[in-house]
């Protein structure tokens, strides 16, 4: 049932404040400003040398954001790879270390094969999954469910932000256990996470501004997405979302890699979508924006109010999200990225919920 929405994808985008709230309520004790991870007794993060993460597609990008979180907040090194590569790489792993698999469906063949490899090597297996009765959930030692509800649209939206929410709570938990966060530090991040449903609501309020970009974007044959830090995986997620539902070719790049190749593509016809919250590396992304602007590139800047104040002049259009704590910014910045792909596809008249050649659950490799 699509309710009042034209597509399941629209409904699922709009469900995000609610389902992120549901998901986080499983992992946060907001009365005491602590994380509560059911099943996590089996995991002692203070004993880990590293964490291995593997997944496919959008779930992989969630894992890539989590790498930045685990390394910064918990000082836990993360090795992450797409599951189709990981499963055949015969990576040397340590028995007893932790491997984490992320999957909406819990049935993705490559992700499952990576899980089985790690299990065979004696690793502890954790899974972030949305379908609780799925194969990946059954075969994992510890399951961290996302409570996004059934996701019908082939392009993943609410599952992604719920995966991010779970992973953020896990990173805080790990940071606390490893002694890199004290009570106060953990409480600050828990409070920020507790406020994400409200921030996501405010991001949704920008929908008509974002929809207005659909028509100009629909005329592009190629679109470049740029970001640094946690915005780099968001850039790749944005490009994936746009190509899968609008069939416009798009690439997500680390902003710092621009001058190592893709800058050759920049001209007046090439929209460049820059994702840049006003964080400590904001100025570095601004210098990349200057390089794009100097070559006539059309910049759509997805930032926050502070970032818009500082740099909207360089951009052709700016989407200004609310200013939020740096830790939760990737969850909030995912919204305009989803809405932009959605409205561009709707404007172009593609089959948004059932894009050509794609299946919701990829159970063959």
Pick from 54, 58, 230, 338 the residue near ligand F6R by CB under 6 A.
58
Site residues for ligand F6R, 103-142, by CB under 6 A, read 103-105, 108, 111
Q: Tell me the C-alpha to C-alpha distance, in Å, between residue 330 and each of 209, 255, 324, 365.
A: 20, 16, 10, 30
Q: How far is the CB of 278 from ligand F6R (least distance, A)?
A: 28
Q: Which residue, 152 or 362, is less far from ligand F6R as judged by CB?
A: 362
Closest residue by Cα to residue 160 from 27, 23, 58? 58
Q: Which residue, 108 or 177, is less far from ligand F6R as judged by CB?
A: 108
* Residue 153, C-beta contacts closer than 8 angstroms, at least 6 positions apart: 7, 8, 9, 12, 352, 353
Closest residue by Cα to residue 97 from 112, 119, 64? 119
Closest residue by Cα to residue 102 from 82, 77, 129? 129
Q: Which residue, 22 or 360, is less far from ligand F6R as judged by CB?
A: 360
Q: How far is the CB of 177 from ligand F6R (least distance, A)?
A: 27
| Choices 46-54, 100-108, 171-179, 295-303; region in contact with ligand F6R by CB under 6 A | 100-108
Q: How far is the CB of 101 from ligand F6R (least distance, A)?
A: 9
Q: Which residue, 104 or 161, is less far from ligand F6R as judged by CB?
A: 104
Q: Which residue, 91 or 362, is less far from ligand F6R as judged by CB?
A: 362
Is residue 156 near ligand F6R by the rule CB under 6 A?
yes
Give dist(CA 168, CA 113) in Å, integer: 25
Q: Computed over its alpha carbons, how large is the radius of gyration of the chain?
A: 20
Give me the residue whose beta carbon is nearest to ligand F6R. 57
Q: Tell me the C-alpha to C-alpha distance, in Å, between residue 152 and each of 107, 155, 185, 352.
A: 15, 9, 38, 11
Q: How far is the CB of 145 from ligand F6R (least distance, A)?
A: 13
Active-site position among 2, 119, 306, 360: 360
| Choices 40-48, 87-95, 102-110, 286-294; region in contact with ligand F6R by CB under 6 A | 102-110
Pick from 113, 263, 293, 362 the residue near ligand F6R by CB under 6 A.
362
Half-sphere exposure at residue 92, Cβ-oriented, CA atoms within 13 angstroms: 0
Q: Please, which residues bridge with residue 145 across strands? A: 129
SS3 (DSSP) at 35 = strand
Site residues for ligand F6R, 28-57, by CB under 6 A, read 56-57
Is residue 59 near ligand F6R by the rule CB under 6 A?
yes
Q: Which residue, 129 or 315, is less far from ligand F6R as judged by CB?
A: 129
Pick from 12, 244, 279, 353 the residue near ligand F6R by CB under 6 A.
244
Give dist(CA 21, CA 3) in Å, integer: 20
Is residue 84 near ligand F6R by the rule CB under 6 A?
no
Q: Name the residue with tokens 């991010």.
A: 164
Q: Is 2 a catalytic residue?
A: no
Q: Which residue, 23 or 318, is less far from ligand F6R as judged by CB?
A: 23
Size of the site for ligand F6R (CB under 6 A): 15
Q: How far is the CB of 224 from ligand F6R (least distance, A)?
A: 19
Give dist(CA 207, CA 343) in Å, integer: 9
Pick from 10, 28, 155, 214 the residue near ligand F6R by CB under 6 A.
155
Q: How far is the CB of 336 from ligand F6R (least distance, A)?
A: 16
Closest residue by Cα to residue 8 from 361, 331, 353? 353
Angle separating helix axes 158-177 and 16-25, nearest 10 degrees: 30
Give dist(CA 132, CA 153) in Å, integer: 19
203 neighbors 321 (Cβ within 8 angstroms):
yes
276 neighbors 302 (Cβ within 8 angstroms):
yes
Q: Which residues bind ligand F6R (CB under 6 A)?
A: 56-59, 103-105, 108, 111, 155-156, 240, 244, 361-362
Which residues carry out catalysis?
A: 360
């Amino acid at each position: 049932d699509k309710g009042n929405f034209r597509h399941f994808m629209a409904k699922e985008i709009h469900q995000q404040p609610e389902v992120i709230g549901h998901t986080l309520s499983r992992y946060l004790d907001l009365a005491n400003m602590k994380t509560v991870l059911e099943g996590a007794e089996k995991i002692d993060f203070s004993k880990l040398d590293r964490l291995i993460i593997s997944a496919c597609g959008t779930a992989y990008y969630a894992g890539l954001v989590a790498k930045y979180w685990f390394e910064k907040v918990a000082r836990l090194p993360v090795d992450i790879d797409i599951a189709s590569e990981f499963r055949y790489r015969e990576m040397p792993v340590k028995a007893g270390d932790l491997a984490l698999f992320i999957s909406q469906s819990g049935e993705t063949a490559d992700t499952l094969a990576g899980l089985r490899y790690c299990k065979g090597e004696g690793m502890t297996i954790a899974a972030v999954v949305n379908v609780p009765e799925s194969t990946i959930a059954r075969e994992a030692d510890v399951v961290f469910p996302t409570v996004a509800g059934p996701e019908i649209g082939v392009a993943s939206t609410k599952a992604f932000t719920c995966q991010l929410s779970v992973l953020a709570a896990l990173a805080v938990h790990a940071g606390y256990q490893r002694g890199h966060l004290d009570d106060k530090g953990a409480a600050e991040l828990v409070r920020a996470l507790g406020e994400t449903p409200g921030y996501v609501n405010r991001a949704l309020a920008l929908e008509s501004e974002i929809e207005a970009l659909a028509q100009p974007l629909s005329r592009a044959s190629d679109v470049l997405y740029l970001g640094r830090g946690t915005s780099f995986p968001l850039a790749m997620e944005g490009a994936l979302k746009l190509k899968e539902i609008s069939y416009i070719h798009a690439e997500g790049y680390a902003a710092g890699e621009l001058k190592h190749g893709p800058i050759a593509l920049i001209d007046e016809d090439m929209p460049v979508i820059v994702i840049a919250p006003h964080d400590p590396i904001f100025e570095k992304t601004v210098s990349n924006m200057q390089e794009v602007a100097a070559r006539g590139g059309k910049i759509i800047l997805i930032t926050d109010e502070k970032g818009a104040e500082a740099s909207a002049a360089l951009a052709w259009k700016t989407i200004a999200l609310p200013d939020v704590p740096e830790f939760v910014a990737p969850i909030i910045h995912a919204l305009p990225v989803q809405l932009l792909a959605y409205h561009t596809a709707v404007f172009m008249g593609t089959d948004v919920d059932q894009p050509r050649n794609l299946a919701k659950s990829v159970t063959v490799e």
